[in-house]
Structure 1
Amino acid sequence: MPEPLTPHTFVAKWQDVTLKETAAVQEHFLDLCALIDHPTPAQDDPHGTRFTFEAGAAKLDGQQGWADVWKRGFFAWEYKGKHANLDKAYQQLLQYRESLQNPPLLVVCDIERIVVHTNFTNTIKQTYTLTLDDLLTPQGLERLKAIFRDPDSFKATQTTEQVTKAAAETFALLADHLRRQGHAPDRVAHFLIRLLFCLFAEDIDLLPKGRFTDMVATGRHDPQGFAEMLAALLRAMAKGGYFGAERIRHFNGGLFDDASILELDYTGLGILHGIAHLDWGSIEPSILGTLFERSLDPGKRAQLGAHYTSKDDILL
């Protein structure tokens, strides 16, 4: 075991470090092991077959890569320098994960933050962040220990299918509400598909992260204001350009060829606000697409309830 290290000693050391990534990575990880009284990679696995630094991993395109640390059945870990873009580190791990036997946790770290992304099969993805200050608390230390000893404690209780079903049913409520206001079913469908796309796009970084959700929260009590913001966003998506201070990419395919919208009232915005905070990047589009289509057809509404079973059943 490494020599024990107190939380205050660890934080005092690493909060002032300005070393480059390559100079800091392994020492930082070894200090984490000391902090939670866990064997280092070399102590736990002298041959480097299941817990090691610089774990070789083939990328999805077939090229060779290396994860900074890997512990089989627990995590793959990628470092970046202080204040770096950890989303890029996460994207690297997504490239490596299959070659590393799909560890349940994908961890990225910039010395000051440890961000844990869950990678369990058929559960919604969750993200947890530990800061240096968190490591001074008993709860933070327990969460850090769980990365090394109990990855299942990070597992979400709801499956992807359960969350997808709930999202589709909520969209069905919004579809019903718009039809009761006299809007034609085809216009309702086109409008809701646009909203659905925006929710997905912000969670997979096609739109600025959280931008659409923030817009819904801001406009929830101002229907006219939300309508104006949404029309402006759709115009930017149709051609590419700025939406406020943020540059929006061009989305082709015809979905945003015009900026026409259906104005949502307070009730409609309340329904949309209730599902905007879901992790849409974890919801299965193939399942949601089928459920969404059924939600727009009142004659098939019963299939949203008792007849929902699994992905295979839905896609028949």
Structure 2
Amino acid sequence: MTDTQRRAAAKQFAADWQGKGYEKGHSQTFWLSLLQKVYGVEEPDKFITFEDQIMLDHTSFIDGFIPSTHVLIEQKSLGKELNKPIKQSDGSLLSPFQQAKRYAAELPYSQRPRWIVTCNFAEFYVYDMERPTGDPEIIKLCDLEKEYYRLQFLVDTGDTNIKKEMEVSLQAGEIVGVLYDALLKQYKAPEAEDTLKSLNALCVRLVFCLYAEDAGIFGSKSMFHDYLRDIPASGIRKALVELFRILDQKPEQRDKYLADDNPALAAFPYVNGGLFSDENIEIPPFTEELKNLLLEKASGDFDWSVISPTIFGAVFESTLNPETRRSGGMHYTSIENIHKVIDPLFLDGLRLRQLFDGDLPVPAQAGKRGLAVCHRPD
């Protein structure tokens, strides 16, 4: 199947199963259909097994198991929360993942799963048992059309999904690199230490805004793009200064008439944690070419919400690394600090837990507060 065919099949599958899903009556049909229609398995009934018996202190059954790719599936009905404990037949309280791990521990070593998938017909929680204490990757059924490759491990022992993430993340890194170079040319003192500090901080802020608009953190798709779209290139610098100031202000701290004067600016939420707190960061003037680069190439033509945090963290690090860039910007922003922002940013945009501190000029009073988006104004 081509990528276009796979996307179409995933879209149709998601539509067929929207709002449906009873564990006992629909599980096998759901998985057989997914494997055959979306992932091209010709004889799915020979590829996956259901209700394999497992002996605990009582007899239990594994909902689904794919021997060739070592995937164990724990299926729940629609509406069941996958991260909360459920009472078992023996009276114990276990989350679906804990339940699956208990089954896995009783399997012969050669049959133990590399992947555990818990599912409630609306979401797939994917646990990589190479990182058994790590958080799961979450794929929503409604997003399967664009994220089908993230479940490719169900049928492929290779690294197809990793290659896709690498490809997308390298594209993002290239965009950041081009943007970095274009911005650097606009500074009056491009080799100055303060310039490089400001440029690194500006790049991180812009990446945050690009991701936040695509991931829905700002409230609506293309919100950052639309805010800047009708502003002439000569006014972009001032518009960014105002936006960064607003992102650092709680609603009660803002001008009470801001929504009347500038409703587009007032609609942005408050971002806690210090990322936007330093107003001394130098932002250079924009040209028409630079505006187009930011709004079309970086914003309009690329979806930042599909970025892999681990891979992009490395790409972003390389983009600003003094060993690979003439300007040496990364000298002023340590690799550790890049990952403190980028990793949690892309792992879960609504729960930005780490603070970007250290070499960049973030106020000391920011301390160790988590970076979080909150208090979206009405």
Question: Normalising TM by the smaller chain, what interval?
Answer: 0.5 to 0.7
Q: Which residue of 1 aligns with 2:49?
A: 42
3-state SS of paired residue (2:284): coil
Q: Which residue of 2 aligns with 1:218?
A: 229
3-state SS of paired residue (1:294): coil
Q: Which residue of 2 aligns with 1:198?
A: 206
Residues 1:16 and 1:176: Cα distance change in structure 2 (over 3 Å): closer
- Checking the alignment, whether the CA contact within 8 Å between 1:51 and 1:69 is kept in structure 2 is no
What code does the residue aligned with 2:49 have?
Answer: A
Q: Which residue of 1 aligns with 2:316?
A: 288
3-state SS of paired residue (1:108): strand
From 279, 301, 321, give the equivalent of 1:258.
279
Residues 1:173 and 1:249: Cα distance change in structure 2 (over 3 Å): same
From 111, 117, 130, give the equivalent of 1:76.
117
Q: Which residue of 1 aligns with 2:163?
A: 156
Q: Which runs of 5+ in 1 are unaligned?
A: 1-6, 82-88, 117-126, 130-142, 304-316
Q: Which residue of 1 aligns with 2:144?
A: 115
From 262, 267, 276, give the equivalent of 2:289.
267
User: What CA distance in whole angstroms lies between the structure 1 residues aligned with 2:160 and 2:192?
Assistant: 47
Q: What's the offset of the Cα at 1:211?
A: 4.2
User: What CA distance in whole angstroms lies between the structure 2 residues aligned with 1:41 and 1:191?
Assistant: 52
Q: What's the offset of the Cα at 1:29?
A: 2.7
Matched, 1:28 2:47: no
User: What CA distance in whole angstroms lies between the structure 1 residues aligned with 2:150 and 2:49?
Assistant: 20
From 178, 182, 186, give the equivalent of 1:174.
182
Matched, 1:97 2:125: no
Q: Identity rate of aligned residues, in percent? A: 8
- Checking the alignment, whether the CA contact within 8 Å between 1:78 and 1:109 is kept in structure 2 is no
Residues 1:291 and 1:109: Cα distance change in structure 2 (over 3 Å): closer
- Checking the alignment, whether the CA contact within 8 Å between 1:76 and 1:107 is kept in structure 2 is no
TM-score by length of 2: 0.46
What code does the residue aligned with 1:249 have?
Answer: Y
User: What CA distance in whole angstroms lies between the structure 2 residues aligned with 1:100 and 1:296?
Assistant: 31
User: What CA distance in whole angstroms lies between the structure 2 residues aligned with 1:146 and 1:206?
Assistant: 25
- Checking the alignment, whether the CA contact within 8 Å between 1:215 and 1:229 is kept in structure 2 is no
Q: Which residue of 1 aligns with 2:96?
A: 66
User: What CA distance in whole angstroms lies between the structure 1 residues aligned with 2:140 and 2:25?
Assistant: 11
User: What CA distance in whole angstroms lies between the structure 2 residues aligned with 1:161 and 1:42?
Assistant: 35
Residues 1:235 and 1:154: Cα distance change in structure 2 (over 3 Å): same
From 246, 254, 258, give the equivalent of 1:236.
246
What code does the residue aligned with 1:214 have?
Answer: H
Q: What's the offset of the Cα at 1:38?
A: 0.5
After superposition, what is the alpha-carbon deviation per residue over 1:13-49, rounded to whole angstroms, capped at 9, x for unaligned? 9748744676776253344356553127435966546
After superposition, what is the alpha-carbon deviation per residue over 1:102-149, rounded to whole angstroms, capped at 9, x for unaligned? 99x957344xx3627xxxxxxxxxx535xxxxxxxxxxxxx8996642
Question: Which structure ranks higher in relative contact order (CA pairs < 8 Å, sequence separation ≥ 6)?
Answer: 2
